[in-house]
């Protein structure tokens, strides 16, 4: 990590953001799903911010992608759902199974995940971390910026909250039985997807069963080559049961299961080679159980939510060349308990979270890494408040305390620490059409078991001449301190019956104690020494930038535009940070032809050159070229058979051979995806 000396970094950031603001007319309509021009209050955010408030009143930068937009995009992974949101990029290359999310230059374990309110923790080498299939999604919410005061460890860069479909999504408010069947085909990788959903509701009970199956061959790139090890097959199931216990109480039971099978490189974000990135057969299984309880009594002081959850991730891997076998298993048990008290317009939420992780890996063969048999226990308590001060002014306050401890049974050692994460914001409703907010957040990420306690050998040059892993139980947590200014504008009837939304955010995020793997040695003279590999706290870094999202809605016309930029540098060396995305412009123009029941649109993404790559490890002066990608999409329901829907996507229309900044692999070439859904 590092940065080039960049005096005047703020001048460049502000100049770019302000220039776009002056020239833009539109809205941050990322949360507008229904195209209703008379509706200015977006969908209420529940899972991402915990305090239930309208999106346009929240003093945070949040992207929301609803079910209709997900179906229109036909994504193959959760990260791809967020691909068109400003300052959010897909990391990990074109293999959907190993993609992750980069938010404002931070990615991987620095961005926390939740599914239906339950934390999703998995971190092991180059293995996947997103396991939910987008066929099960009803929405995805992404908090841009630190969010540890809400969720604790891991939310240094932000949060990706995934919400699965419900019976109400299929049936609406009606009782009875219904569902849909869906089938899709992707000509790029000869991929097929089949989905079935059945839902029912009667009286106080409702439920849903859903299943999907995916199968694909290797991806074709823009130059015509096939990406070895990118085909796979997978299937999964989702079951939900909701029971309304009278007017004040409700129970929800959720079970998810998935299986994935494919041949991939050990590091699926890089090219295959025969010396270090071997082809393996990977079989992964996930099981998740949630039990949620809600109580909303007659008193505004008692509104209880409780959630207990259990997650299991099980990966079995076998090297194709010699059959060497590895296994990695993580079991998580956790619970959340909170209460919302309302006194007038004051909202106060307080609660506790706790979880326990059991990490159990096995590595086959000789001279291998030895990840620890480890157990992590964490608990946190928090309080969040929304307090109106005077008319048009609201204060948001939050504070959270977390304690975490990791024990490595095979090494008979442990590590423990704690962290406090405060947040504060002032929200000013300056007029009916403008809301401004200024906020400050601190966040942290506790080091994982592998970072603390890995032992064994990293690699061997010859028998007996190996580089060893050295445990470091003294690692400090990564910490972030973010200040942000956000503005949201909304206008109606500017030029007739239209709606305009604009949202602008600028931020400065100081991140300390980055946890980074270092390799020392090997050396050959005067004594042969294989050296060692360990994890250490290194850079103190500053990331600055901003994003603008705008939309114009009128009748069947929808025009969206967004722009995101981030700058990052090492505070000590003034070298460039890695993983900082290129400045990116995203456009989306669509029209709904109501007489034909047809919606069609075009998306365009332009990423600028990324040549801010001055850091010591970049000995070849690698930089990343600009690119522009055009996607087409359309949805059609025949008037004579409204229960039938067709969706068409043509991604990378020009069949360009390109790669995103910091990625080793080039992206997929032209994709033509067609699906048909029948609702009953």
Least confident stretch, 31-45, 329-343, 410-424, 502-516:
31-45
Read off the pLDDT band of 414 (50, 70, 90): very high
SS (H, E, C) 366-408: CCCEECCCEEEEEEEEEEEEEEEEECCEEEEEEEEEEEEEEEE
**What integer pLDDT is reported at residue 411 of this predicted model?**
85
Look at 642 and 288; give whichever has higher pLDDT: 288
> What is the mean predicted confidence (pLDDT) over 9-22?
39
- β-pairing, 191-202 vs 176-186, is antiparallel
- β-pairing, 532-537 vs 465-469, is parallel
**What integer pLDDT is reported at residue 10 of this predicted model?**
43
Per-residue pLDDT tens digits for 165-203:
999 999 988 889 999 999 999 999 999 999 999 999 999
Continuous segment of H or E residues that includes residue 173: none
| 41: pLDDT strictly greater than 60 | no
| Residue indicated by tokens 């200014």 | 485
Among candidates 425, 458, 457, 427, which has minimal Cα distance to 442?
Answer: 425
Among candidates 254, 135, 139, which has minimal Cα distance to 197?
Answer: 135
Among candidates 597, 592, 591, 593, which has minimal Cα distance to 639?
Answer: 597
Is 335 in contact with 308 (CB distance < 8 Å)? Answer: yes
Read off the pLDDT band of 460 (50, 70, 90): confident
| 365: pLDDT strictly greater than 70 | yes
Read off the pLDDT band of 373 (50, 70, 90): very high
**What integer pLDDT is reported at residue 21 of this predicted model?**
35
Per-residue pLDDT tens digits for 387-405:
999 889 999 999 999 999 9
**What percent of the chain is modeled with pLDDT above 70?**
93
**What integer pLDDT is reported at residue 496 of this predicted model?**
81
**What integer pLDDT is reported at residue 126 of this predicted model?**
87
**What integer pLDDT is reported at residue 46 of this predicted model?**
53
Among candidates 607, 608, 613, 604, which has minimal Cα distance to 662?
Answer: 613
> What is the mean predicted confidence (pLDDT) over 592-611?
96
| Residue indicated by tokens 């106080």 | 204
Among candidates 77, 64, 79, which has minimal Cα distance to 30?
Answer: 64
336: its two tokens: 């959340």
Is 104 in contact with 82 (CB distance < 8 Å)? Answer: no
Q: What is the end-to-end Cα distance of the chain in Å, rounded?
A: 54
**What integer pLDDT is reported at residue 40 of this predicted model?**
36
**What integer pLDDT is reported at residue 640 of this predicted model?**
87
Q: Give the helix, strand, coil percentages of the chain, each rounded to 5.
A: 10, 55, 35
Entry pTM: 0.91
Distances in whole angstroms, Cα of residue 125 to Cα of each of 99, 451, 455, 458: 14, 10, 13, 12
Cβ neighbors of 385 (< 8 A, separation 6 or more) are 346, 347, 348, 349, 395, 396, 397, 398
Read off the pLDDT band of 48 (50, 70, 90): confident
Among candidates 39, 40, 58, which has minimal Cα distance to 48?
Answer: 58
**What integer pLDDT is reported at residue 458 of this predicted model?**
87
Continuous segment of H or E residues that includes residue 354: strand 346-363
- Dihedral Cα 564, 542, 618, 111, nearest 10 deg: -60
Average pLDDT of the chain? 90
| 501: pLDDT strictly greater than 50 | yes
Rounded CA separation 152/443 (Å): 7
37: its two tokens: 């021009």
**What integer pLDDT is reported at residue 26 of this predicted model?**
33
| 17: pLDDT strictly greater than 50 | no
| 121: pLDDT strictly greater than 70 | yes
Is 81 in contact with 73 (CB distance < 8 Å)? Answer: yes
Read off the pLDDT band of 144 (50, 70, 90): very high
> What is the mean predicted confidence (pLDDT) over 324-344?
95
> What is the mean predicted confidence (pLDDT) over 279-289?
97
| 43: pLDDT strictly greater than 80 | no
| 132: pLDDT strictly greater than 70 | yes
**What integer pLDDT is reported at residue 111 of this predicted model?**
96
**What integer pLDDT is reported at residue 11 of this predicted model?**
41
What burial class does residue 516 get, using C-beta atoms within 10 Å of its C-beta: 0-12 exposed, 13-18 middle, 19+ buried? middle
| 4: pLDDT strictly greater than 70 | no
> What is the mean predicted confidence (pLDDT) over 514-525?
85
**What integer pLDDT is reported at residue 136 of this predicted model?**
96
**What integer pLDDT is reported at residue 2 of this predicted model?**
44
Domains along the chain?
9-453+478-512+539-679 (2.40.170.20)
Per-residue pLDDT tens digits for 50-98:
877 777 778 889 999 999 999 999 999 999 999 999 999 999 999 999 9
Least confident stretch, 39-48, 272-281, 347-356:
39-48
Rounded CA separation 465/442 (Å): 44
**What integer pLDDT is reported at residue 432 of this predicted model?**
86
DSSP state letter for 451: H
Distances in whole angstroms, Cα of residue 99 to Cα of each of 81, 91, 201: 11, 6, 36
**What integer pLDDT is reported at residue 45 of this predicted model?**
58
| 589: pLDDT strictly greater than 70 | yes
Per-residue pLDDT tens digits for 536-587:
998 799 999 999 999 999 999 999 999 999 999 999 889 999 999 999 999 9
Read off the pLDDT band of 276 (50, 70, 90): confident
| 238: pLDDT strictly greater than 80 | yes
């Amino acid at each position: 990590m590092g940065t080039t000396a960049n005096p005047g970094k703020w001048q460049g950031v502000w100049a770019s953001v302000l220039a776009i603001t002056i020239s833009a007319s539109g809205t941050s309509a990322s949360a507008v799903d229904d195209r209703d021009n008379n509706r200015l209050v977006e969908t209420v955010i529940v899972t991402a911010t915990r305090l239930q408030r309208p999106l346009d009143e929240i003093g945070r930068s949040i992207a929301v992608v609803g079910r209709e937009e997900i179906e229109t995009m036909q994504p193959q992974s959760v990260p791809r759902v967020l691909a068109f949101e400003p300052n959010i990029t897909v990391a990990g290359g074109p293999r959907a199974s190993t993609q992750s999310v980069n938010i404002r230059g931070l990615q991987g374990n620095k961005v926390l995940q939740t599914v239906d309110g339950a934390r999703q923790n998995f971190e092991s080498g180059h293995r996947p971390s997103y396991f939910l299939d987008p066929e099960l999604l009803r929405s995805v919410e992404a908090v841009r910026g630190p969010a540890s005061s809400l969720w604790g460890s891991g939310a240094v860069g932000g949060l990706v909250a995934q919400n699965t479909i419900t019976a109400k999504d299929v049936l609406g408010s009606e009782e009875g039985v219904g569902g849909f069947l869906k089938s899709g085909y992707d000509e790029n990788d000869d991929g097929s997807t089949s989905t079935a959903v059945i839902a029912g509701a009667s009286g106080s009970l409702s439920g849903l069963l859903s299943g999907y199956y995916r199968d694909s061959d290797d991806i074709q790139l823009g130059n015509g080559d096939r990406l070895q090890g990118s085909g796979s097959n997978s299937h999964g199931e989702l079951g939900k049961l909701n029971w309304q216990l009278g007017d004040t109480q409700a129970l929800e039971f959720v079970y998810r299961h998935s299986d994935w099978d494919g041949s991939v490189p050990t590091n699926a974000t890089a090219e295959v080679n025969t010396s270090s990135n071997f082809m393996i057969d990977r079989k992964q299984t996930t099981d998740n159980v949630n039990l949620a309880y809600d109580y909303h009594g007659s008193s505004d002081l008692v509104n209880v939510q409780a959630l207990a959850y259990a997650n299991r991730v099980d990966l079995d891997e076998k090297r194709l060349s010699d059959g060497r076998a590895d296994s990695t298993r993580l079991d998580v048990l956790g619970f959340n308990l909170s209460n919302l008290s309302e006194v007038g317009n004051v909202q106060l939420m307080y609660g506790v979270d706790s979880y326990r992780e059991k990490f159990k890996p096995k590595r086959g063969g000789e001279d291998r890494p030895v990840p620890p048999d480890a157990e992590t226990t964490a608990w946190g308590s928090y309080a969040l408040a929304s307090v109106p001060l005077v008319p048009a002014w609201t204060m948001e306050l939050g504070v959270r305390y977390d304690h975490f401890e990791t024990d490595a049974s095979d090494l008979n050692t442990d590590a423990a620490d704690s962290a406090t994460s405060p947040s504060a914001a002032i929200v000013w409703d300056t007029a009916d059409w403008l809301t401004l907010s200024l906020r400050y957040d601190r966040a942290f990420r506790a080091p994982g078991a592998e970072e603390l306690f890995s032992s064994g050998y990293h690699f061997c040059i010859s028998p007996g001449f190996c580089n060893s892993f050295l445990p470091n139980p003294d690692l400090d947590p990564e910490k972030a301190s973010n200040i942000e200014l956000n503005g949201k504008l909304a206008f109606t009837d500017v030029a007739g019956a239209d709606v305009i939304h604009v949202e602008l955010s600028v931020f400065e995020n100081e991140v300390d104690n980055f946890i980074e793997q270092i390799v020392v040695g090997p050396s050959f003279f005067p004594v042969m020494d294989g050296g060692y590999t360990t994890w250490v706290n290194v850079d103190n870094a500053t990331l600055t930038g901003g994003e603008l999202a705008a939309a114009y809605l009128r009748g069947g016309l929808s025009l969206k535009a967004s722009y995101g930029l981030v700058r990052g540098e090492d505070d000590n060396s003034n070298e460039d940070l890695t993983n900082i995305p290129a400045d990116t412009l995203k456009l989306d123009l669509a029209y709904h032809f109501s007489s034909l029941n047809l919606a069609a649109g075009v998306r365009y993404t332009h990423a600028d050159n990324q040549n801010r790559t001055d850091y010591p490890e970049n000995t070849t002066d690698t930089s990343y070229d600009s690119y522009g990608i055009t996607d087409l999409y359309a949805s059609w329901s025949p008037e004579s058979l409204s229960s039938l829907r067709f969706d068409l996507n043509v991604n990378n229309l020009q069949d360009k051979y390109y790669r995103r900044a910091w990625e080793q692999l080039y992206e997929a070439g032209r994709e033509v995806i067609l699906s048909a859904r029948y609702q009953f």
